[in-house]
Amino acid sequence: MLTEDKKRTAYTAVVTRVLEGDGRASRAGRRAAFDNARLAEPLRTLIDKVAKHPTRVTNEDVAAVKASGESEDQIFELVICAAIGQATRQYETALDALALAMTGKKRSEHASEDPQ
Partner 1 sequence: MRLKILNSGYGFGTKVLFAFIHAVSRQPVPDAAKLVFYRPDFYGAPMKEFTHEAMRGPSAWSVGDRELMAAFVSKMNECEFCIGAHTATAVRAYHDKAKVSAVLSDLETASIEEPLRATLRMLRKLTREHAVNADDMRAVLAASVSREQIEDALAVCLAFNTTDRLADAFGFFVPGPKAFEAGAKFLLRRGYR
Binding site for partner 1 (CB under 8 A): 3-4, 6-7, 10-11, 13-14, 17-18, 21, 23, 46, 49-51, 54-55, 57, 59, 62, 72-73, 75-77, 79-80, 82-84, 86-91, 93-95, 97-98, 100-102
CB of 68 to partner 1, least distance (A): 15
CB of 45 to partner 1, least distance (A): 12
Closest alpha carbon to 50 in 80, 70, 25: 80
Q: Left, alpha or beta for 69 (phi > 0: left; psi -120 to 50: alpha)?
A: left
CB of 107 to partner 1, least distance (A): 12
DSSP code of residue 41 = T
